[in-house]
Structure 1
Amino acid sequence: MVPLTIGRWRGYAVLLLVPVLAASGCGAPDAPTGAGPTAATSPTVVTTDGPSASPDLADQSTASASPRKDLPHVFPVRAKKVSYHPTHSAYPGTDIFADCGEPVVAVTDGTVGEVSRRDRYDKRGPQGPYNGGLSVSVIGDDGVRYYGSHLTEVAEGIDAGVRVRAGQRLGTVGRTGNANNVCHLHFGISPPCPGEDGWWIRRGVVWPAPYLDSWRKGGNRKPAAEVAAWHRKHGCPGKPPAR
């Protein structure tokens, strides 16, 4: 269990928040299984004010044929007072609790993938496509996609196709989308599926906590092998059924 030391809250407060966020899904329905393996030769790169599945989005590609293996990895939130839980609600992901306004940074060197600068979430509307509010993903040079959502703002110049380095500021911790008015960063790790991948993959498919534990201590544990294994087994699953 990760020590809970967030801001002015005590550890028990964070534990009480976990079921609250789980109730909202912080990302909607369970991730589906099915769909045979699909090779990811190049990631989708889009800039949008909504989900990547929207028909009015630009669809660009950035080559990633030879993933780099010797890359630095850093913790995605630059704050002294930060906490996270090793589990999530209905799918692999991690909610990283920190004060609103704390910097969110690129985990590793890579290219900006999807960017959402507009909060279109409505609890009365469909759950899933807009849950993240303001968000940014980075397609790492290791072939892994790193996604952060619920941001207060996206940093100037962070647009689809822009190159970033490990530790570069992407935005700030916030509570947009279905964050339940709690300042935190939803963090997900997934493969950069080509074409129309969507929120159900981008939100996370492998558990981030073991990697966060390493990065927070200055280590460099790498998720590329686990993500590649997941992708070989599941491919790029289609959109889950509406609920």
Structure 2
Amino acid sequence: MRSGLVGRWAAVTGAVLLTGACTQATGLAGVGATSPTTPPPSAGATPAATAPTPEHMAAEQPPQGGEPVKVPPPKLSKYTYTFPVKGCKTEYQRKLLVLPKTTIWAPQGCAFVAPVGGVVDEVNVQDRWSPSTDAGATREGKFVTIIGDDGVRYLGGHLDSVADGIKPGTRVKGGQVLGKVGRSGNARDAGPNLYFAISWKTGPAFWWVRRGMVKPWDYLDAWQEGNRTLSPREETLKLRGKLGETPQCTVQCGGAVRQQQDPPQASKTPQPQKSPKKDDDDVVTLTPTTAPLDGR
């Protein structure tokens, strides 16, 4: 009987020991209490949970954009313009000095081209300017004016020469060569340049109008730098409505009477009659006979 009790006690003890061993190996619900493959972190090492991962590093980097997409400038008018000097490096004034015009500095012989399609209005192929008289009407030397399809007149002066076939009434396209940059007129003692001016159509007697009424540099900037549809039409028509088609000459008016004896080639426009001369011989007021332009 004693040996039987000892046997049962041995059996119970073995079962308890076996159960403890299993519990240490698997832990709760069969999961090990410690991972046999994960060594304890060493002193000073970054815990695995806080170490940066490739995913975290990628998320912290700003996204790399592609090449910028070039968006064309907005179309501001139905007309397309061209910078009036072609194929040469240029510089020009961007401020008002004496007249609302600009001087475009360019090498001798560079092409002066039509800024927009239109019709040739006036052509002067002879340099009539003299330093002794310094007549205002001849300061531009050899020049060409066109009436653009936008209704605006454009002048290119100080030319070295006028292109073949360019005469009053000739139809031209935007960018077509009208002449070559030079030093005629009162530019003979300066570097070669193009006298460029914006105005509206008048008779050739009103030469001071063609010399410039609208500041051109904002339009030149746009035509050269990207927006070739910025048009001076609206500003020109507005100013003409304010001043009248033939405003009185107020700047560099000398030589008006002498110039009338030998005018440049021009489209057939009725000549205005002169009013009585005032005491100031440098200022002559002309009474227009030309009919007002339409809104072209």
Establish whether TM, by shorter chain, passes 0.5: yes
8 Å CA contact 1:103–1:171 kept in 2: the answer is yes
Query: In the alignment, which residue of structure 2 is the partner of 1:55?
Result: none
Q: Deviations over 1:175-233 (max 9, x none)?
A: 0000133100010000112x355221001101100000000123121000000010000
**Code of the aligned partner of 1:130:** T
Say which structure is richer in helix: 2
Q: CA deviation at 1:87?
A: 1.8
Taking the aligned partners of 1:85 and 1:126, their CA distance within structure 2 comes to 23
The separation in 2 between residues aligned to 1:93 and 1:107, in whole angstroms, is 15
Name the counterpart of 1:54: none
Following TM superposition, by how much is the alpha carbon of 1:173 offset from its aligned partner in structure 2, in angstroms? 0.5
Distance in structure 1 (CA, Å) of the matches to 2:204 and 2:89: 37
Measured in 1, the distance between the counterparts of 2:208 and 2:239 equals: 14
- Alignment partner for residue 132 of structure 1, among 131, 136, 140? 140
The superposition leaves residues 26-79 of structure 1 with CA deviations (integer Å, 9 ceiling, x where unpaired) of xxxxxxxxxxxxxxxxxxxxxxxxxxxxxxxxxxxxxxxxxxx62211100003
Between the aligned partners of 1:198 and 1:185, the Cα distance in structure 2 is 21
**Greater Rg by CA:** 2
Counterpart-to-counterpart distance in 2, 1:204 and 1:133: 15
User: Which residues in structure 2 correspond to 1:184-223 (within 5 Å)?
Assistant: 184-193=193-202, 195-219=203-227, 220-223=229-232
**CA apart distance, 1:123:** 0.9
Which structure's relative contact order is higher, taking Cα pairs within 8 Å and 6+ residues apart?
A: 1
Show structure 1 runs of 4+ deviating over 6 A. Answer: none
Q: Is the 8 A contact 2:198 2:213 kept in 1?
A: yes
Aligned to 1:233: 242
Query: Residue 178 of structure 2: which of 170, 188, 197 is its match?
Result: 170
Asked if the contact 2:88–2:107 (Cα under 8 Å) also holds between the matched residues in 1, the reply is no
Mapped to 2, the partners of 1:88 and 1:164 lie a distance apart of 30
Distance 2:78 2:205 in 1: 27
Q: SS of the counterpart of 1:139?
A: strand
Change (3 A) 1:181 1:163: same
Question: How far apart, CA to CA, are the structure 2 residues paired with 1:102 and 1:158?
Answer: 17
| Aligned residue-pair number | 174
Which segments of 5 or more consecutive residues in structure 2 lack a partner in the other structure? 1-76, 255-281, 283-296
Where does the alignment leave 5 or more consecutive residues of structure 1 unmatched? 1-68
Hey, what's the Cα distance between the residues in 2 that align with 1:156 and 1:229? 35
Name the CA shift for 1:233/1:188 in 2 (closer, same or farther; >3 Å): same
1:152 alignment partner, SS class:
strand
Does structure 1 residue 145 correspond to structure 2 residue 153?
yes
Distance (whole Å) between structure 2 residues aligned to residue 174 and residue 229 of structure 1: 33
**Residue 237 of structure 1: SS of its match in structure 2?**
coil
Aligned-residue sequence identity (percent) comes to 41
Choose which of 85, 89, 98 in structure 2 pairs with 1:81. 89
> What TM-score results when the alignment is normalised by the length of structure 1?
0.68
Classify the secondary structure of the residue corresponding to 2:234.
helix
